[in-house]
């Protein structure tokens, strides 16, 4: 099956710093990737849709200058949390859709803790 | 995308079939019903999807009512590793998946 990886799996950073999370589709090309965040005991919340070679589309209420998304190739999308604060601590998950398929394949997630 | 309603939690005995219901009364004609599950602290895992016919794969079966207003995911022989949150999602070809609260399935020995 299609495999999506994320790096790092866990990251702890100080308040005010920026953190980059990578999402890779390992055995397929993905023109579209999605970024979600999940708070404890809550459901996944879609943050943005990332299209290769174009600007990401953010969901309402998600600050695009805070959460920078880059989708430079068909197998890599990155999410940068800029000037992180403790309230940004969350589980960040990406997904990718291969061409000709409708289902999304999810990465294992990245646990971000901002001190 | 259609709003879905699922019971917040269910229990199932190990080895028995787990039947997880989902209501999607506002689903439109071109929207598929997708099921994903999320084991604790992992990314969601695709299970199955269907439009109007019943579907079966190596993981589960999906039964969709004729009016398409509800569906049931069936895990034929639940194991302890099937303990997870199960999400039913009405999904059009916009690409976006909007997750509801899902059903927490607890498989008990």
In terms of CA atoms, which chain A residue is nearest residue B86?
A: A43
DSSP labels for B24-79?
-TT--TTPEEEEEEE-TTS--EEEEEESSS-EE-SS-EEEE-TTSSEEEEEETT--
Give per-residue pLDDT as tens, A53-112: 888 999 999 999 999 999 888 999 999 999 999 999 999 999 998 876 677 899 999 999
Give per-residue pLDDT as tens, A10-58: 999 999 999 999 999 999 998 889 999 999 989 999 999 988 888 899 9
Residue B100: count of CB within 10 angstroms of its CB: 16
Would the CB atoms of B43 and A93 count as touching at under 8 Å?
Answer: yes
Q: CB-CB: which of B34, B101, B102 is closest to A103?
A: B34
Give per-residue pLDDT as tens, B36-93: 999 988 999 999 999 988 999 999 999 999 999 999 999 999 999 999 999 999 886 6
Would the CB atoms of A104 and B41 count as touching at under 8 Å?
Answer: no
Round to whole Å and give the CA distance between A48 and A30.
15
Would the CB atoms of B32 and A4 count as touching at under 8 Å?
Answer: no
Mutation target among A60, A100, A102 for the B interface, most CBs of B within 10 A: A102
What SS3 class is residue A88?
A: helix
Q: CB-CB: which of A102, A104, A107 is closest to B32?
A: A102
Q: Starting from the edge strand earliest in sequence, which strands make up the sheet with A76-81, in order?
A: A4-7, A19-25, A76-81, A67-73
User: Which of these, A2, A7, A1, lies nearest to A76 by C-alpha position?
Assistant: A7
Round to whole Å and give the CA distance between A57 and A33.
11
């Amino acid at each position: 099956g299609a495999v999506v990886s994320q790096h790092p799996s866990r990251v702890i950073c100080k308040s005010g710093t920026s953190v980059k999370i990578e999402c890779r589709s390992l055995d397929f090309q993905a023109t579209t990737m999605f970024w979600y965040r999940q708070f404890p005991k809550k459901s996944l919340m879609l943050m943005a849709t990332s299209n290769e070679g174009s600007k990401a589309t953010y969901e309402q209420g998600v600050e695009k200058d805070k959460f920078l998304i880059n989708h430079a190739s068909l197998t890599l999308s990155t999410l940068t949390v800029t000037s992180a604060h403790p309230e940004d601590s969350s589980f960040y998950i990406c997904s990718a859709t291969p061409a000709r398929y409708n289902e999304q394949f999810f990465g294992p997630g990245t646990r971000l803790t901002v001190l | 995308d259609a709003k879905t309603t699922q019971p917040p939690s269910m229990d199932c005995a190990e080895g028995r079939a787990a039947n997880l219901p989902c209501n999607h009364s506002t689903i439109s004609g071109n929207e598929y019903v997708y099921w994903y599950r999320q084991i604790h602290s992992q990314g969601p895992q695709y299970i199955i999807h269907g439009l109007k016919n019943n579907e079966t794969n190596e993981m589960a079966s999906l039964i969709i009512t004729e009016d398409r207003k509800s569906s049931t995911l069936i895990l034929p022989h639940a194991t302890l590793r099937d303990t997870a949150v199960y999400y039913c999602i009405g999904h059009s070809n916009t690409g976006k998946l909007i997750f509801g609260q899902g059903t927490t399935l607890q498989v008990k020995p």
